Structures are given as structure tokens and as C-alpha cells.
Amino acid sequence: MMWIKICANTNLEDAQLAAELGADAVGFVFAPSARRVTAAQVATITPHLPASVECIGVFPALTAEVIAEMVGEAGLSAVQLHGGVDLTLLRAVKQILDRKIKLIQTVHWDVESGGDDADEFARHLREIAAEGLVDRVLIDSKTVSASGGTGRTFDWNAARAVLAESAEGLNVIVAGGLRSENVAEAIHRLQPWGVDVASGVEESPGRKSPERLVAFLRAAREA
């Protein structure tokens, strides 16, 4: 069964609806973004969500201590490190949060490089796998101006070859420009463990569209 995360939630209504419709996880963005929230805001949402739904914080490159403090205040069950691959930070977060909190490491595919960063992308995947600290990596699109929430897909064909060679032992979550119209194609091409969507199910930044949520979840499940 495909694992599905609905990310960039900013209010209780949207997070509850995602959970009711069958999402496996809801995400909250603590990085600079039009959808940015605070730990205090998220703390008013997470207690009202089913225990079966993962509550994931998307963090920039903060210190492990600050991340741990925000996790506790917000009531999160998982951390997604989104500020680039920093193995030192990954180790520190793992040590502080121990096994109680799941970790996801984001690896970015630069959609403006023409594939020139494929070797670096592959190296990051191999390093993460070798560390053995996380079993989930999220592949997201990056541009010069944004490292997430771009609404743009990356080169799935090029990425498929790299993932086949370098992501052994990792559960791959695909993000970046997904929507109900293309998520099935992404799943068929990349065979990921999970998918992640934010802007593709919005009616405006930070506000979900119930119709798009329904359509996306159905398309991902049926794929």
C-alpha cells in the first residue's frame, strides 16, 4: 500500500480532512515558506488527529537541540530534515530523539541543472544508506530560489536510474510537483515507497482544496 503524506498544513480543518480521507501522514513546515507555521500553532492541531497518522515537522538547518525542543512542543511523531544533507546534524538529531521519533532525510534534485548534479545526488543517497540512521528519504525538486514547494517535477527518468543504483535499503518518498493528474505516472516510473504533496492539493498557499485532496488520494491509492 502506498504511503501518502499531505504536507504544508496550516490549520486543524485541513489536517483533519487529510486524516479522514486516509492520508498516512500530515506535514507541517517550519522552514521559510508561505506555509510556514510555529510549534505553538501546530501544538493546537496535533492533539486532535488520530494516533495512527504521523505528524511530521519539516525542518531547515537548525540545531539538533532546537529541533528536539520544537518536536516536543508541537507534539510531532517524525522529523523531516529539509535543509540539505548534513550527516552531523542527522546523527545529533538521532541521538537526542533516540528511537521515539522517526527521521526522514530530504535529498534535492536540482530541476535547473539539466542533470549535472546527478552524481552528487547519488552520493548523498549512498552516504545516507551507509549511515543507517534513517530508512526513509524524500526526493524533492529544488530551484535557485526554492528547495521545496516549487510545484515542479524533477526528471523522473534520470532519477529512476540513480535510485536503482544508489538507494538500496532506503524507502523512497517522491515529492515535487505532484498532483492528481500525474501522481500515478510518478508511481509507475519510480516505484516509490511513498508520495508527498503540498501545493498540488491547495486552492491557495496554506489552504487545501477538499476536491483536490480527494482526487490525489484516490489516484495515488489506485496506482
Q: How far apart are CA 196 and CA 177, in angstroms?
A: 9
Q: For the CA atoms of 120, 126, 128, 131, what is the dihedral angle to 10 degrees? A: -140
**Regions of the chain short of the pLDDT cut 50:** 144
Contact present, 33 and 204 (Cβ < 8 Å): no
The C-alpha angle with vertex 31 and arms to 116 and 176, in degrees rounded to 5, equals 45
Q: How far apart are CA 81 and CA 67, in angstroms?
A: 10
pTM: 0.94
Give the residues across from 42 on adjacent strands: none
Q: How far apart are CA 216 and CA 170, in angstroms?
A: 24
pLDDT value of residue 100: 83
Set 7, 14, 110, 196: catalytic member: 7
Check if 117 is active-site.
no
pLDDT value of residue 144: 47
What is the tens place of the pLDDT at every residue in 142-166? 764 555 555 789 999 999 999 999 9
Mode of pairing for the β-strands spanning 202-204 and 207-208:
antiparallel
pLDDT value of residue 117: 78
Q: For the CA atoms of 175, 180, 181, 184, what is the dihedral angle to 10 degrees? A: 70
Reference 130, options 96, 97, 90, 95; nearest CA is 90
User: For the chain, what are the domain ranges?
Assistant: 3-222
Q: Burial code of 155-170, b = ≥16 C-beta within 10 A, e = fewer?
A: bbeebeebbeebbeeb
**Residue ranges in 170-209 assigned as alpha helix (H):** 183-190
* Helix or strand run (H / E) with residue 14: helix 12-20
Check if 55 is active-site.
no
**Region of residue 26 (left: phi > 0; alpha: psi -120 to 50; beta: else):** beta
Set 14, 110, 140, 196: catalytic member: 140
Could you name the CATH architecture of 3-222? Alpha-Beta Barrel (3.20)
